[in-house]
Amino acid sequence: MSTRLVLHEDVRSGNCYKIRLTAALLGTRLERRGYDILKGDTRSPDFLAQVNANGRIPVLQVGTRFLPESNAACWYLAEGSALIPEDAFQRADMLRWMFFEQYNHEPNIATLRFWLLYLGEANLSATQRGQIPVKRAAGEEALRVMNEHLAARDWFVGDSVSLADLVLYPYTHVCEAGGFRLQDYPAICRWLDRIAALPGYVAMSA
């Protein structure tokens, strides 16, 4: 009997979508439990005590254990599959892009989408407003690095899709909601199409 897998999520979050997309490509069934981050659902005493003391979703529940951090959850689901390269250097290089995603990409590209699409520019604090140009420039730089890397290759690592592609896809494919323009990055656009054509692909809204 396989272990019960429950995704604690907010459907608007690209970090949660990463895990659903990985599971879909693997044919792995996930139960889903929804939270509203805008209503503070992930800061409740129960959530902090039982699900994640860091107050964030997604969390992948594996039986009675809880695994925070989207990219760690994708790793857990994909271990032993073709989504993680067998070659040791390629495996580390895949993790390199997954750390790049959390450090250079998500805090800029996902945050601007969250601020502009869900909070609304008029509701931002002065400190947040002051960060918009900083995050805009850093997000453009992350997209530039991705576009250059993809100019001569189909996938981020090796010759096939890996978790590096799957964790970079979610916030990239909806980056225009944060004010970025995909047409400026043609190699990224072709890569987005390749991912959407993968067998088992599910949309973010699914």
Binding region for its own copies (CB under 8 A): 53-54, 62, 65, 67-73, 75-76, 79, 88-89, 91-93, 95-96, 98-100, 102-104, 106-107, 126-127, 130-131, 133-134, 145, 148-149
Which CB atom, from 145 or from 177, has the smaller least distance to its own copies?
A: 145
Q: To the nearest whole angstrom, how small is the minimum distance from the Cβ of residue 196 to its own copies?
A: 26
The secondary structure element, H or E, covering residue 5 is strand 5-9
Q: Which amino acid, one-letter code, is at 75?
A: W
Which CB atom, from 54 or from 160, has the smaller least distance to its own copies?
A: 54
Residues 84, 89, 92, 96, CA torsion sign: negative
Q: To the nearest whole angstrom, how small is the minimum distance from the Cβ of residue 205 to its own copies?
A: 25
Which CB atom, from 52 or from 169, has the smaller least distance to its own copies?
A: 52
Residue 145 neighbours by CB distance under 10 Å: 14
Instruction: List the structure tokens of 15.
Output: 């970090």
Residues 41, 35 contacting (CB under 8 angstroms): yes
Relative orientation angle of helices 163-173 and 186-196, to the nearest 10 degrees: 110
Instruction: List the structure tokens of 121.
Output: 């520019």
Residues 185, 106 contacting (CB under 8 angstroms): no
Which CB atom, from 133 or from 199, has the smaller least distance to its own copies?
A: 133
Which CB atom, from 149 or from 194, has the smaller least distance to its own copies?
A: 149
Assess whether the previous peptide bond of 186 is cis (omega < 30° from 0). no
Rounded Cα distance, 101 and 40, in Å: 25
Q: To the nearest whole angstrom, how small is the minimum distance from the Cβ of residue 10 to its own copies?
A: 17
Which CB atom, from 82 or from 196, has the smaller least distance to its own copies?
A: 82
Start-end of H helices in 67-185? 70-78, 88-100, 111-113, 126-150, 163-173
